[in-house]
Every structure is written in C-alpha cells, then in structure tokens.
Amino acid sequence: MSKAYALPGLRVGWLACRDAGFVAKVRELKDYTTICGSAPSEVLALIALRQRETVLARSKDIMAEGLAALSTFCDKHADKLEFHQPTAGPVAYLRMRGDGLTADDAQAYSEELVRSTGVMVVTSHSFEAAGAFLRLGFAKRGFASALAAWEETFEWVRMPRVPGERAGKRPRSSR
C-alpha cells in the first residue's frame, strides 16, 4: 500500500514466497509479535483497493510529472550526474560523475549538502552498495521545486572530484 497507493502509514501487506520453511518462520514470528493486523488500516486499505483505478491513475500522473522533471534536471546536469530512467517504480539512482568516486564520497557529499542547505538525498552508502549513487524518490507533487532547490546548491556545495568544476562560494543569504 505504501508506494503505488500512497498509503505507507497503513502497514498492511502480504508475503508471497515459494519457500514454505521461510513462510513458516515468518508466520511464527508474526504470532509472537502481533496479535492481529490493525483493523482501521485494513479497512482503509480495502477502501483504496476498491478505488484502485482512481488511486493508481493519480499516482501514475504524479510519478510521470516527477520523472519528467528529473529527466530534464539530469540532462541539464549530465556533467555531474548519470541517469538511467527506471523501468518501473518511483525511485531513481543517479550516479555521481567523477573518476574513482565511492559510496563514501556520495555520503560525504550528502552530509555536506544537508548540513549547508537542508537539502537531503539518500546515498548508496545507506544501502551498503558500491559506487557513488544518490537515491531519489520522484513520486511527489512539487518534485520539480525540490530539484530547483538542490540545483541552487551546486554553486556552493561541490560534488567530490567532478572534472573541470571548481567550488563556488556560498551565497550570503543562507537558509
């Protein structure tokens, strides 16, 4: 219910798995941690599922708008970021351009970015993945304005070892 239906707080879900032993372990764990699912969450999930065409159409429109904005943004900043359009889902991984960049470099950039500007991106470091990647969820209304806020930071928060780019100075009117 969390992504396509935009209802992450409901915490309603199902487990589909071919490994009967794993399913048995999960069922046992559930028996010891939860008496039953949340009845209000189940009712709200049922309402959303009954309106799936409307809810999913809304989600698809928001996702398409965000993806278009992200694609334009990445085309404009192809010197800094490499973008491969996802084939499904509302999440993209942008590779930071630069020779030898690591997940630690992405993390350092992310930490400086949030410290200096309040703009937050999740990095490959958070997912224990190799490489300098930034993870963005683009299925949000107004995502283009979030990208514009990030773009403004390029003047004073330098991505590590980007060839041919020099660090700018932070504007005096700090946020």
pLDDT in tens, 17-45: 899 999 999 988 888 887 777 889 999 99
**The tokens of 126 are what?**
């958070």
Contact 112, 93 (CB under 8 A): no
Q: What is the pLDDT of residue 161?
A: 58
pLDDT at 171: 44
Residue whose structure tokens are 């939860």: 34
Helix, strand, coil percent values for the chain (each to nearest 5)? 50, 10, 45
Q: Which of 81, 170, 88, 61 is nearest to 133 (CA)?
A: 81
Please give the CATH architecture assigned to the domain spanning 62-153: Alpha-Beta Complex (3.90)
Length reported for the chain = 175
Q: What whole-number percentage of the chain has pLDDT above 70?
A: 91
What mean pLDDT is reported for the chain? 85
CATH 3.90.1150.10 boundaries in the chain: 62-153
Three-state secondary-structure class, residue 94: strand
Task: End-to-end CA distance of the chain: give it in Å, rounded.
Answer: 35
pLDDT of residue 127: 83
Do residues 10 and 41 lie in contact, with contact meaning Cβ atoms separated by under 8 Å?
Answer: yes
133-137, strands of its sheet edge to edge: 81-83, 91-96, 133-137, 122-123
pTM of the model: 0.75
Which residues, given as ranges, of the chain have pLDDT below 70? 161-175
The angle formed by the CA atoms of residues 138, 139 and 140, to the nearest 5 degrees, is 95
Phi/psi of residue 91, each to 5°? -130, 135
